[in-house]
């Protein structure tokens, strides 16, 4: 990892002082200027984890890796589901205190920070109680199940002055950092449209043997299927890309329209198995988004379309609209257009691209092997140590979350939805 | 009468240019994207770089058991087998392990047991094609198929059919510059005049092929990039010796069939003059040029 890490730090250092680092993505400067700290126990950042399910487990492993190079420690873990509670103890080798109830955890353990990876509808009260208890919060996306909860989380962050970050990991992806820099410089010309999609062919069942859809156990374990707990793929997948769209355009949408249905997985789930959305942005730009779980042909992608080129952010590639033709082809075109048949020196050994080209696309950034979630958590620990994080980072989470819920509303009402003033901040 | 349509895409590790004169744009676009999809389909079938390709599956399994092929894959390997025997083993798609071997410096291969092991076990003779049940099998696990000297020509063969089906009577297609398909006449009249680059005298040509409804394929064991740097030397193996073809040589073959031109240009790079003449007697309208490069000099042999 060291070579990529070095390249990454070179890249962030090179961008220091540019508008990218000062306004668009100020959080990246933390890697070149980490908060100073001592190695003593008194300087140790004490972290708790709430929710050690599929996502929480990955975050826990990331935090354990950070323990090796930062003065921090996972001192408490919590999950109200017995098998995950046991797993959390095992993952932390019994070194972290384990709890079934997070309230008990924040009451009895001294914590600087928590990482929350519970079902969506649980985020709000957990975040709010932690912030009020003086604990900084990293909460998985999206923020909450309702707009009121999203706003309440944000307001509590403001009132308490404690950090609230939402886990949209692309915010810490070096490819996106480089891409934003190139977009600002006009590499692909004026941006005229965004297109993104996330397609899968999966029943999306996280836990089998729950007794089927609708049972209490299924509602608890496969919570993503139930309206009460989740907006389905809109919140679990789409919210990532909605955040990216806001970020690329440096704006939030003016409105969203959409439609969704359950046309294949008619097993009693309550959330769409396919949907389609159109977001309108300022400057007459549209963002078209679709998602499906019954066909994976198109994979997942986020395209930024400009008049001179295209960026495919999920595959780290950039394409030119009008690449310069090789001289032989230029000559031939000129010949044909001028009505002359002259010998064109064209034949020879097979042309092969330079290494930075990949089938016509150019890599956006070489730093694509770094794990963005790990970088985000490293940033978070640094912010905790410093006592504050860039407000723009919190806002990215806020705007992505509000528009996630508005998008859901659009698919349910068929109306063009705008952001009510009371949620505007 | 429309104007000139030109577009490009990338496939098989190189660039593909299509020029279609006198065509209405929407018509041209449909044909172009159909061609692109067909080329990509072929690549996804015969690429050794794609783990899911038919070719990769054969390479993984054929040393263990006979591997069933679809009719197209069967046709492809039969064509390779035919060309292998036609050229007296000069065209051989199984030499990849030798290429890998020679990527490192080996001064004295005669005493190297690795080399002996490879040379004894690679070659099309170690491959059995059973036409009755459409299977292929290798007799040892050193054999590895690589259709690098075949794929672009095969793709152009398909493109030629597609252009014909679409009633396009004029077109110029360059696949990586080494495989060219010229349909009909040049819009200014007369055949397409396809010049072969002269590598010791850039911008000049060593030969000109005049082509109508035909193809020109060039094989060489080196490549000069746009900046004039030498690249990719030693990737052509002489099946007779198992060693890289060291002299700087380039062979261009013009034939009506793009896939035949492709296979023969590959084979003739390591064939004797007698053998080239013998094969040429099999076909009408073949034209073959060999260029042997010496410092500052290009020696041209026309067959």
Give me the mean pLDDT over the A243-261 stretch: 97
Give me the mean pLDDT over the B119-135 stretch: 91
Nearest CA in chain B to A345: B195
A-chain residues near B261 (CB < 8 A):
none
The end-to-end CA distance of chain B, in Å, is 40
Nearest to B14 among A332, A340, A350 (CB): A350
Give me the mean pLDDT over the B147-156 stretch: 94
- Does the structure show a pLDDT above 90 at A234? yes
* Listed residue (A50, A233, A221, A218) closest to A127, CA to CA: A50
Return the pLDDT at B2.
57
Place of tokens 């054969």: B58
Return the pLDDT at B18.
97
Q: Judge whether B240 is closer than 8 Å to chain A, CB to CB.
A: no
> CB neighbours of B161 closer than 8 A, spacing ≥ 6?
none
Least confident of A124-138, A148-162, A316-330, B144-158: A316-330
The ipTM estimated for the assembled molecules is 0.83
Instruction: Please tell me which residue, A39 or A335, carries the higher pLDDT value.
Output: A335
Q: Rounded distance, CA A256 to CA A246, Å?
A: 13
Give me the mean pLDDT over the B117-137 stretch: 91
The Cα of B18 is separated from the nearest Cα of chain A by a number of Å equal to: 9
Nearest to A329 among B174, B196, B231 (CB): B174
The Cα of B49 is separated from the nearest Cα of chain A by a number of Å equal to: 13
Q: Rounded distance, CA A33 to CA A39, Å?
A: 17
**A111-145: b (≥16 Cβ within 10 Å) or e:** bbbbbbbbbbbbbbebbbbbbeeebbbbbbbbbbb
The Cα of B84 is separated from the nearest Cα of chain A by a number of Å equal to: 22
Q: Do A353 and B13 touch (CB under 8 A)?
A: yes
Return the pLDDT at A367.
56
**Region of A27 on the Ramachandran plot (φ > 0 left; ψ -120 to 50 alpha; else beta):** alpha
Give me the mean pLDDT over the B164-193 stretch: 95
Give me the mean pLDDT over the A103-118 stretch: 97
Q: Do A349 and B10 touch (CB under 8 A)?
A: no
Give me the mean pLDDT over the A212-224 stretch: 94
Return the pLDDT at B241.
83
> Which of the four pLDDT bands, split at 50, 70 and 90, describes residue A326?
confident
Chain B 79-138, residues with CB within 8 Å of chain A CB atoms: none
B-chain residues near A337 (CB < 8 A):
3-4
Collapse the DSSP code of A198 into the 3-class scheme (helix H, G, I; strand E, B; otherwise coil) and give the result. strand
Q: How many Cβ contacts (< 8 angstroms) between chains A and B?
A: 122
Return the pLDDT at B239.
81
Q: Do A349 and B174 touch (CB under 8 A)?
A: no
Question: What mean pLDDT is reported for chain B?
Answer: 90
Both tokens of B287, joined, read 């034209």
Q: Judge whether A330 is closer than 8 Å to chain B, CB to CB.
A: no
CB B269 within 8 A of CB B219: yes
Residue B206: count of CB within 10 angstroms of its CB: 23
- Does the structure show a pLDDT above 80 at B103? no
Both tokens of B202, joined, read 């850039």
Length of chain B measured in residues: 303
Chain B 13-52, residues with CB within 8 Å of chain A CB atoms: 13-15, 17, 19, 21
Q: Do A349 and B180 touch (CB under 8 A)?
A: no
Q: Rounded distance, CA A131 to CA A138, Å?
A: 10
pLDDT digits (tens, 9 = 90+) for A369-388: 778 999 999 999 999 999 99
pLDDT digits (tens, 9 = 90+) for A82-107: 999 999 999 999 999 999 999 999 99
- Does the structure show a pLDDT above 60 at B49? yes
Share above pLDDT 70 across residues of chain B, in percent, rounded to a whole number: 94
- Does the structure show a pLDDT above 70 at A40? yes
Nearest to A343 among B205, B223, B231 (CB): B205
- Does the structure show a pLDDT above 60 at A2? no
Return the pLDDT at B1.
47
Nearest CA in chain A to B251: A348
B-chain residues near A340 (CB < 8 A):
188
């Amino acid at each position: 990892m060291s070579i990529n890490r070095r390249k990454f730090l070179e890249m962030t250092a090179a961008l220091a002082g540019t508008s990218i680092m000062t306004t668009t993505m100020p959080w990246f400067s933390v890697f070149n200027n980490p908060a100073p700290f001592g190695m003593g126990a008194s300087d140790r950042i004490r972290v708790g984890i709430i929710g050690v399910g599929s996502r929480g487990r990955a975050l826990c492993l990331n935090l354990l890796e950070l323990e090796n190079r930062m003065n921090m420690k996972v001192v408490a873990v919590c999950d109200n589901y017995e098998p995950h509670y046991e797993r959390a103890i095992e993952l932390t080798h019994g070194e972290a205190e384990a709890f079934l109830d997070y309230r008990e955890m924040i009451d009895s353990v001294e914590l600087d920070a928590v990482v929350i990876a519970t079902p969506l509808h649980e985020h709000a009260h957990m975040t709010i109680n932690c912030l009020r208890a003086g604990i900084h919060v990293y909460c998985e996306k999206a923020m909450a199940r309702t707009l009121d909860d999203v706003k309440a989380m944000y307001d509590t962050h403001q009132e308490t002055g404690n950090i609230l970050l939402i886990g949209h990991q692309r915010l810490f992806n070096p490819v996106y950092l480089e891409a934003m820099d190139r977009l600002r410089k006009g590499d692909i010309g004026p941006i005229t449209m965004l297109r993104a999609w996330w397609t899968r062919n999966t029943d999306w069942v996280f836990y089998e043997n729950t007794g089927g859809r609708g049972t209490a156990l299924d509602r608890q374990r496969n919570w993503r299927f139930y309206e009460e707990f989740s907006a389905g793929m809109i919140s679990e997948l789409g919210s990532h890309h909605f955040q990216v769209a806001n970020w690329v355009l440096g704006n939030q949408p003016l409105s969203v329209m959409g439609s969704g249905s359950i046309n294949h997985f008619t097993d009693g789930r309550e959330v769409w198995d396919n949907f389609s959305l159109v977001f309108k942005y300022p400057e007459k730009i549209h963002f078209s988004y679709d998602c499906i779980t019954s066909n994976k042909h198109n994979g997942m992608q986020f395209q930024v379309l400009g008049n001179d080129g295209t960026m495919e952010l999920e595959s780290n590639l950039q394409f030119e609209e009008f690449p310069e033709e090789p001289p032989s082809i230029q000559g031939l075109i000129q010949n044909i257009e001028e009505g002359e048949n002259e010998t064109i020196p064209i034949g020879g050994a097979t042309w092969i691209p330079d290494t930075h080209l990949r089938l016509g696309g150019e890599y956006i950034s070489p730093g694509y092997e770094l794990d963005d979630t790990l970088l985000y958590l490293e940033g978070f620990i640094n912010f905790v140590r410093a006592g504050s994080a860039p407000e723009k980072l919190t806002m990215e989470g806020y705007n992505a979350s509000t528009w996630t819920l508005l998008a859901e509303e659009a698919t349910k009402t068929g109306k063009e939805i705008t952001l009510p003033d009371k949620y505007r901040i | 009468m429309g104007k000139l349509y030109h577009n490009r895409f990338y496939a098989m590790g190189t660039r593909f240019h299509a020029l279609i004169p006198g065509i209405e744009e929407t018509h041209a676009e449909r044909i172009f994207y159909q061609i692109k999809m067909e080329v990509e389909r072929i690549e996804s079938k015969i690429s050794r770089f794609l783990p899911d390709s038919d070719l990769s599956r054969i390479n993984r399994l054929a040393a263990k058991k006979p591997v069933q092929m679809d009719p197209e894959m069967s046709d492809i390997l039969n064509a390779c087998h035919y060309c292998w025997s036609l050229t007296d083993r000069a065209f051989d798609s199984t030499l990849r392990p030798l290429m890998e071997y020679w990527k490192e410096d080996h001064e004295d291969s005669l005493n190297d047991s690795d080399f002996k092991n490879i040379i004894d076990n690679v070659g099309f003779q170690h491959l059995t094609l059973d036409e009755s049940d459409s299977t292929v099998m290798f007799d040892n696990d050193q054999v590895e198929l690589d259709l690098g000297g075949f794929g672009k020509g095969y793709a152009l063969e398909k493109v030629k059919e597609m252009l014909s089906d679409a009633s396009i009577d004029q077109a110029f297609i360059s696949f990586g510059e080494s495989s060219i398909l010229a349909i009909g006449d040049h819009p200014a009249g007369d055949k397409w005049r396809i010049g072969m680059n002269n590598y010791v005298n850039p911008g000049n040509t060593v030969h000109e092929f005049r082509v109508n409804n035909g193809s020109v394929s060039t094989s060489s064991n080196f490549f000069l990039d746009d900046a004039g740097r030498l690249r990719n030397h030693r990737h052509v193996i002489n099946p007779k010796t198992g060693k890289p073809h060291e002299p700087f040589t380039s062979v261009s073959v013009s034939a009506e069939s793009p896939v035949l031109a492709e296979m023969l240009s590959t084979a003739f790079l390591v064939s004797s003059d007698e053998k080239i003449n013998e094969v040429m007697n099999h076909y009408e309208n073949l034209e073959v040029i060999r260029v042997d490069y010496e410092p500052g000099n290009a020696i041209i042999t026309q067959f």
